[in-house]
Structure 1
């Protein structure tokens, strides 16, 4: 006989509780390794932006920062923080990804 949705959910929740209590046989544990955050020079940041074919204003909008922030990074007066470094890294590797944030 097939289990009902309720029974399946109940079983899954009970397995989750047992896993949280330390029964590692009730779950899957994966160790993930991530790329380190890049140290980007002002020239690299400008090159990344130019690779997206976006103006400083449009690039700032995609990143969720001000145009002054982009200008400051590109002039070497300041450096991006962690989340911005990760986005810049993504846009360096896949410049076309910025298009996902433009509605028209």
Structure 2
């Protein structure tokens, strides 16, 4: 374990000779195109994915970009829209019943 900590410290200081660094880039889908494909208004789409409409507009207009879980959700939504929408609708049904 001490060896791992020493390697981590060296990497942090800029020495990458003893470490393998994996970096992943999660692509940002075209949010406006995705929303239109789902035939949703900005208000409906923002509500379904749980973000303020102003945030959605900023994404669509390129002023800001989704990060973290929002970026992952949008990527999954772009690939498997029926699955994600089914899960979102089921969650909203449960919330309405509570």
TM-score range relative to shorter protein = 0.5 to 0.7
Summarize the alignment of residues 12-91 of structure 1 with structure 2, pairs less than 5 Å apart. Answer: 36-40=25-29, 44-91=30-77
Question: Structure 1: which 5+ residue stretches go unaligned?
Answer: 1-34
Counting matched residue pairs gives: 67
Alpha carbon RMSD of aligned pairs, Å? 2.0
Greater Rg over alpha carbons, structure? 1
Contact 1:37–1:82 under 8 Å retained in 2: no
Deviations 1:54-91 (A, max 9, x none): 21111111221101111110011111011111000011
TM-score with structure 1 length normalisation? 0.56
Structure 1 consecutive aligned stretches of length 4 or more whose deviation exceeds 6 Å: none
Question: Structure 2: which 5+ residue stretches go unaligned?
Answer: 1-23
Contact 2:27–2:75 under 8 Å retained in 1: yes
Task: Answer yes or no: is 1:101 the counterpart of 2:88.
Answer: yes
Contact 2:28–2:75 under 8 Å retained in 1: no
